[in-house]
Amino acid sequence: MAPSVPRTRAAATLRMKQISLDNQDRTIRRLRAQLATERRGLAATKKELKETQVALEASHKVIAGLTEIGLSMSKKIEKMKVKKQIVRANHVECHQKFQARNHEAEDSIQAQHLLIEALVDEKDSLIQTIHGLQEANNAPAPFDGDWEEEPEEEPEEEEIEDIPLGEGEIDDE
């Protein structure tokens, strides 16, 4: 018996939706990998800022100590004040750059989360649609691995049976 055209179309539609889901799964995996990369980069940036902050704090302590010791040496004190201002300016600039990078990374992560959520919602919607189509067509689940499209069967030719010639007599031809 040949399958009906709507069932074949439904099977093709289900297969196309499965391919779409597979593509979305790959996209989600790729976006998750990008998200992990972004997080690693953000962690490295935070570590660099912490190291810079420790170095700057140490630098500030050295500057303060030299200022106390070198009160009589006004030129050196002025140089140290200039250096201190430069360090502070660099610190502020570095902090602002870090904050800008941090905000960009957070925005990127948030956008990726929204995209992943949208893809997951779309995937759920497609799965519900597939289940609805399966229920409507009384089709087996296409995701269980055993489901295959039914092969088209050729109609069998009816065999002509020999009719007995008379009671108890059968022709052996």
Domain count, the chain: 1
pLDDT in tens, 115-144: 999 999 999 999 999 998 888 888 666 555
Single pTM value for the model: 0.32
- Domain assignment present for 42: yes
Instruction: Assign residue 51 the CATH number of its domain.
Output: 1.10.287.1700
Residue 63 lies in a domain: yes
pLDDT-wise least confident of 17-21, 86-90, 142-146, 163-167: 142-146
Neighbours of 11 (CB within 10 A): 19
- φ, ψ for residue 36 (rounded to 5)? -65, -40
pLDDT for residue 111 is more than 50: yes
Residue 107 resides in a domain: yes
Q: Give the tens place of pLDDT for each residue, 137-164.
A: 886 665 555 445 555 566 555 555 555 5
Residue 148 in any domain: the answer is: no
Compare 87 and 69 and report the one with higher pLDDT: 87
Higher pLDDT, 50 or 167: 50
